[in-house]
Chain A
């Protein structure tokens, strides 16, 4: 098991373009989370899935953002019509079962919108 994998690690795009990030969680983890982290700040919760069901979305997740987790395995986060304010590190995390909410994070996908 290689942990949580995210791809691409860095994406540079022009304003108005669409981008998609992929996350492969730890295989036995049934919960998957997306967080966003801007420079000098802690990660902020965006959304989470239990298996294939998206159970919560933050109000930070505007209608330009969509996340999916088909078949409860990998997840994608798509940002449409990117804006410069979308520039951030997008972190994926996964966890299993009940209790302490021990999240394992991936290395993140850094987005730069020019």
Chain B
């Protein structure tokens, strides 16, 4: 079993729809939960991140973490064609003591391909 599982989709929605993207994970030590967006033939770019459990909102995007069930979600409201991309969840154990080996190491999900059509 992979440490981070993400439904690869693909997911196709009409413009204006609410999109829900989800990941599950197995490592209880994960503390930071990042969401990256990747356009075709580009590197991933950070959308937003949360620390520990809870919700965080940034414009049309809401990230949600439930550590008790090890479940990560990203919601996109009023989706736009420009949101069409691959979305990657990437939890991390977070910072450790100086020189700690877990520092800055992200474990990515497989990515969900999203298409928003006009």
Chain A: residues with CB nearer than 8 A to chain B?
Answer: 4, 31, 33, 35, 40-45, 48, 50, 55-56, 91, 93, 95, 98-108, 110
Contact = CB atoms under 8 A, between A and B. Distances in A.
Interface of B: 4, 6, 8, 32, 34, 36, 41-46, 49, 51, 88, 90, 92, 94-95, 99, 101, 103-111
B108 A42 contact: yes
A106 to B, nearest CB: 5
Contacts, number: 75
Contact of B104 (A40, A42, A103, A107): A103
B44 A91 contact: yes
A60 B104 CA distance: 17
Q: From DSSP, what is the main secondary structure of chain B's interface residues?
A: loop
Contact of A48 (B34, B43, B104): B104
